[in-house]
Amino acid sequence: MKYLFVALAEHGEASSSDLVDEMLRQIQKSYEEHGTNQLLFGHPFIHRMLKDMVKADVTALSQAQAKVEEGEEKPSKLKLSKTIAKILLKHFDEAIKGRGVFILLELIETKETQHLVSKQLKAQKQMLKDALKKNPKAKGLEVLLKKVEQV
């Protein structure tokens, strides 16, 4: 299933797929793991798939831009990455307390998607610091905070 979603993103077809739309709705639902409730985008497999989909979305944009230079078609607008960023920012508290932080890292580390999250992350820098104080072992959160300070 992961490869299907990544392929849809890589070919620029994710934004027109009902399957992807439904998956994006489902990842906002909670599940219980080890006695704590989390949102599905923080699940070990799902957060990795979403990171790969963001990478594939950027790849699709690069390929589309190359085709524009050859006079073929207009590039996509990173619609999938925008949607994933909106979901993570909507559920910001849950994202930074779980594996969603790694998807935020992917978004801020990639030049093409950085603008989607950098303003919000800068505005929430104190919240990131507070979350890191509560959980100093959260390496993903630590790296995210460093990236936010560099942007």
pLDDT of residue 83: 96
Its domain, for residue 9, covers 2-150
pLDDT of residue 64: 82
Q: Quote the CA–CA distance of 82 and 18 in Å, as a whole number.
A: 17
Q: What is the pLDDT of residues 35-65, one digit of tens each?
A: 878 899 999 999 999 999 999 999 998 888 8
Indicate whether 75 pLDDT > 60. no
Please provide the distance, in angstroms rounded to a whole number, between the alpha carbons at the two ends of the chain. Answer: 34
Arithmetic mean of pLDDT over the chain? 91
pLDDT of residue 34: 78
DSSP state letters, 2-34: HHHHHHHHHTT-GGG-HHHHHHHHHTTSEEEET
Tokens (6 digits) for 48: 């990795």
Indicate whether 76 pLDDT > 70. no
Number of domains the chain contains: 1
Tokens (6 digits) for 61: 């944009």
